[in-house]
């Protein structure tokens, strides 16, 4: 993420897709424009994934 684009006087939007196989998240300026950052991780659906798998942090 390019931290030079982040300012405290702006509003931000975070979109999260937490599914059974992975989590994806994106950060954007609430006023519009392209995503400023994104990330992904392991499974995140607490209704379909065992607690041990939710707590595991792959490296």
CB-based burial, 7-17: b 16+ in 10 Å, e otherwise: eeeeeeeeeee
Q: How many residues does the chain have?
A: 59
pLDDT, position 44 = 80
CB atoms closer than 10 angstroms to residue 44: 19
Instruction: Answer yes or no: is pLDDT of 24 > 80.
Output: yes
Give 31-47 pLDDT, tens digit per residue. 998 999 999 988 888 88
């Amino acid at each position: 993420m390019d931290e030079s684009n982040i300012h405290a006087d702006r509003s931000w939007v975070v979109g999260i897709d937490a599914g059974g196989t992975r989590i994806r998240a994106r950060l954007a300026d609430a006023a519009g424009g392209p995503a400023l950052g994104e990330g992904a991780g392991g499974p995140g659906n607490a209704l379909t994934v065992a607690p041990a798998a939710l707590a595991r942090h792959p490296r």
